[in-house]
C-alpha cells in the first residue's frame, strides 16, 4: 500500500512539473503566433518527466494547439534503437560474442579455485587481442588464454574475476582479468611480459592471493549485509544486484525509502557482530530442490542448474552462490558502510568496505577530522557544536548582506530608471548588477518592476564562482509580442548559457562574464525586431 501511494504521489509531482513546462511552451507559441507543438518537445516531456502524450494532446487541444505526433513517434523509435544497440554492446553479451568459437567447440574449464590458489593446466586455446585463434603470444603482446584447469574465478554472479600470473617453460604473463562467458568456461586476459606463451603447453596458474582474499571478504560480508538488512528493514528486502571486488562491495536491494542514520548504524552493528563471532562459513553442493527445502535464498539474476552451491553462515545466512568466500567470518576484519543512496524507484544501494579497506577509510576520516580540529582549534567532541555555530553565523551575515543589497538596489532604483530606453515603443531597462544570492537578485528585479509597470527589464549579475545569472521580466501587456522565455533563449547564449521560465519572468545561467554587455545588446536587438 505504501509503495502504491508513493508511486501515485510521484506521478502527481511529475504531472505538476510537466504541466508548468507545457504551459510555458504554449505561451511561447502563442507569443510567436504558432499553433503546433514540435514532436521533439513532446518527446522530451515524455522522456525526461514521464509525461504522457495523451495529456499533452488534451491540454494543448483545449487551447487550439496540435502536437506533431509523427515526429514524436520518430523520436521514440530512435531512442529504442539507441537503447537496443547499447544493450547489445554491453557486459556479458560482448564476452559471449568474442568467444563464440570457443563456446561452439565445447571447450570446458575445470575450476579448482575454491580449494587452491595455484594449479597446473594445459593451455587448450590462445586468442590474440581481437579474439582470433593463434599458436603463440610473444613478449609485449596481449590476448586471451584458456586452460583445461584453473584456480582463477571468472567474473560472474556479481563478483569480479581474479588476476594473477601464468608461467610456462618458455615464458610468463600477467593475468589482468578472468571472465566467464559460459558456466563451465573461464577465459583469462593476459599480457606476456617474458618470453612467449605457446598453445598446448602446461602452465602454472597463480591467483593474486591478496586480491582474492579481499574479494572473498567483501563477498561473504555481502551475505551478512543481506541478512542484516532483512532484520532491520523487514523481509521485503531482496537483492536487486551486486558488485563484489577487492576494493569494496556494492549491494542493491528493494526498499521504498532512504535508510536513517540509526538503521545504518544498526546494520553495521549486526554485520560486525557476526564478524567478531568468527562463525565458520560452509560450502556444499546439493540439489536445487534440497537447497530450497532447507530455506536457501536464491539471488537476483542468477541461473541455477540441478546441482547448486550452497553457502551458509550458520544462524545468519544461507544463499545459493558460486562465488569465493572466507573460511570464517572473522577473516573479514571489520565492516563499514560508505554510502546509502537511491538508484531507482523502490531500489536502494549500499556501498561498503571490509578488512584493510575499512581501516584505510576510517583512518582517512580521522585525518580529515584532525585537519578540521586544527582549523577550528577544537577538541573532537567540540567540532559539531563549533561548526553549527559558524553555519548559523554565516546564515545571519548572508541575510544582512542580502538586506543591505536590496536596500541599496531600492535606493538606486531611481537612478537606474534614467537608463530606461524607448525601443520600438517598448520601455527597456537592462543593467549589470551585483548580488550575494539569487534571492537578492530577484528582490532587485522586484524593485525595478515596481517602477516599470509596462516594459522589459533585465538584470545580469556575475556570481562568486565566475559564472553569470540573468533575469528578464516582461510585463503582461507585451506578451502578444514576446515572452520572457523567448527573449532569454538568445540573450543567455551571449553569456554561454541557457534558461527558461514563465511568460512574465525567466532566469538563465551562463559561464561567460565577459559576454554580459553583448547579452544586453542582444536584448535590445530582439525587442527592436519584435517592434
Residues 6, 256: contact at Cβ < 8 Å?
A: yes
Query: What are the DSSP calls for 301-353, one per residue?
Result: T----SEEEEEEETTTEEEE--S---SBGGGG--EEEEEEEEEETTEEEEEEE
Residues 6+ apart with CB under 8 A from 190: 137, 142, 143, 144, 145, 166, 173, 174, 175, 176, 197
The strand pairing partners of 250, in sequence order, are 243, 351
Q: What residues of the chain score a pLDDT lower than 50?
A: 87-93, 300-301
Residues 354, 218: contact at Cβ < 8 Å?
A: yes
For residue 407, the model assigns a pLDDT of 65
Distance of CA 261 to the CA centre of its chain: 22
Residue 104, classed as helix, strand or coil, is helix
Residues 6+ apart with CB under 8 A from 435: 405, 441, 444, 461, 469
Query: Which residue do the cell numbers 595455484 mark?
Result: 118
Which run of H or of E encompasses 276? Answer: helix 261-276
Taking Cα atoms as reference points, which of 157, 126, 329 lies closest to residue 242?
A: 157
Residue 321, all three cell numbers: 552462490
Taking Cα atoms as reference points, which of 367, 364, 361, 369 lies closest to residue 337?
A: 361
R_g (Cα) of the chain, nearest Å: 32
Q: Compute the distance between CA of residue 177 and CA of residue 224 in angstroms, rounded to an integer.
A: 27
Q: At what angle do helices 261-276 and 209-233 cross, to 10 degrees?
A: 130
For residue 393, the model assigns a pLDDT of 92
The strand pairing partners of 431, in sequence order, are 459
Kind of pairing, strands 421-423 and 426-432? antiparallel
Q: How many residues can be counted in the chain?
A: 531
Residues 338, 351: contact at Cβ < 8 Å?
A: yes
Residues 131, 98: contact at Cβ < 8 Å?
A: yes
Kind of pairing, strands 202-207 and 149-150? unpaired
pLDDT in tens, 308-326: 889 999 999 999 999 999 9
Kind of pairing, strands 505-510 and 498-501? antiparallel
For residue 124, the model assigns a pLDDT of 95
Cα dihedral 48/54/57/61 (nearest 10) = -140
pLDDT in tens, 410-436: 555 555 677 899 999 999 999 888 776
For residue 297, the model assigns a pLDDT of 77
**What is the pTM for the complete model shown?**
0.67
Amino acid at each position: 500500500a505504501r509503495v502504491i501511494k508513493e508511486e501515485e504521489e510521484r506521478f502527481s509531482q511529475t504531472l505538476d512539473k510537466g504541466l508548468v513546462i507545457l504551459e510555458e511552451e504554449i505561451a511561447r507559441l502563442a507569443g510567436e503566433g504558432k499553433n503546433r507543438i514540435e514532436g521533439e518537445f513532446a518527446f522530451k516531456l515524455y522522456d525526461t518527466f514521464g509525461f504522457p502524450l495523451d495529456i499533452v494532446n488534451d491540454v494543448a487541444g483545449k487551447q487550439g494547439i496540435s502536437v506533431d505526433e509523427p515526429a514524436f513517434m520518430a523520436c521514440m523509435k530512435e531512442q529504442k534503437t539507441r537503447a537496443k544497440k547499447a544493450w547489445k554492446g554491453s557486459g556479458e553479451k560482448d564476452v559471449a560474442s568474442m568467444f563464440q568459437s570457443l563456446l561452439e567447440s565445447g571447450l570446458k574449464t575445470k575450476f579448482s579455485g575454491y580449494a587452491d590458489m595455484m594449479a597446473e593446466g594445459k593451455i587448450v586455446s590462445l586468442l590474440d587481442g581481437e579474439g582470433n585463434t593463434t599458436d603463440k603470444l610473444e613478449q609485449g603482446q596481449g590476448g586471451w588464454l584458456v586452460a583445461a584447469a584453473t584456480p582463477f574465478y571468472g567474473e560472474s554472479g556479481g563478483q569480479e574475476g581474479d588476476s594473477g600470473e601464468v608461467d610456462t617453460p618458455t615464458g610468463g604473463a600477467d593475468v589482468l582479468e578472468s571472465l566467464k562467458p559460459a558456466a563451465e568456461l573461464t577465459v583469462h586476459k593476459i599480457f606476456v611480459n617474458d618470453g612467449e606463451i605457446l598453445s598446448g603447453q602446461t602452465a602454472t596458474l597463480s591467483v593474486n592471493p591478496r586480491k582474492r582474499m579481499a574479494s572473498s571478504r567483501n563477498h561473504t560480508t555481502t551475505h551478512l549485509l543481506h541478512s542484516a538488512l532483512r532484520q532491520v528493514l523487514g523481509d521485503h528486502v531482496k537483492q536487486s544486484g551486486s558488485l563484489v571486488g577487492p576494493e569494496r562491495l556494492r549491494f542493491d536491494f528493494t526498499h521504498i525509502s532512504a535508510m536513517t542514520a540509526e538503521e545504518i548504524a544498526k546494520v553495521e552493528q549486526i554485520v560486525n557482530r557476526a564478524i567478531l563471532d568468527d562463525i565458520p562459513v560452509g560450502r556444499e553442493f546439493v540439489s536445487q530442490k534440497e537447497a530450497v527445502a532447507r530455506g536457501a535464498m536464491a539471488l537476483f539474476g542468477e541461473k541455477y542448474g540441478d546441482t547448486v552451491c550452497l553457502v551458509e553462515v550458520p544462524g545468519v545466512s544461507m544463499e545459493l552462490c558460486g562465488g569465493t568466500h572466507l573460511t570464517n567470518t572473522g577473516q573479514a576484519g571489520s565492516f563499514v558502510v560508505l554510502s546509502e543512496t537511491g538508484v531507482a524507484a523502490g531500489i536502494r544501494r549500499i556501498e561498503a568496505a571490509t578488512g584493510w579497506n575499512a581501516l584505510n577509510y576510517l583512518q582517512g576520516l580521522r585525518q580529515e577530522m584532525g585537519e578540521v580540529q586544527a582549523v577550528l582549534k577544537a577538541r573532537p567532541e567540540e567540532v559539531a557544536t563549533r561548526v553549527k555555530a559558524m553555519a548559523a553565523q554565516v546564515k545571519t551575515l548572508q541575510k544582512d548582506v542580502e538586506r543591505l543589497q536590496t536596500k541599496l538596489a531600492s535606493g538606486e532604483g531611481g537612478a537606474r530608471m534614467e537608463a530606461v530606453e524607448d525601443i520600438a515603443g517598448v520601455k527597456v531597462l537592462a543593467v549589470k548588477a551585483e548580488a550575494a544570492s539569487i534571492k537578492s537578485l530577484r528582490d532587485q528585479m522586484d524593485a525595478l518592476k515596481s517602477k516599470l509597470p509596462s516594459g522589459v527589464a533585465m538584470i545580469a549579475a556575475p556570481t562568486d564562482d565566475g559564472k553569470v545569472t540573468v533575469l528578464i521580466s516582461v510585463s503582461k501587456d507585451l506578451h502578444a509580442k514576446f515572452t520572457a522565455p523567448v527573449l532569454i533563449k538568445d540573450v543567455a547564449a551571449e553569456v554561454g548559457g541557457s534558461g527558461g521560465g514563465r511568460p512574465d519572468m525567466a532566469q538563465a545561467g551562463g559561464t561567460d562574464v565577459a559576454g554580459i554587455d553583448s547579452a544586453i545588446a542582444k536584448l535590445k536587438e530582439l525587442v527592436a525586431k519584435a517592434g
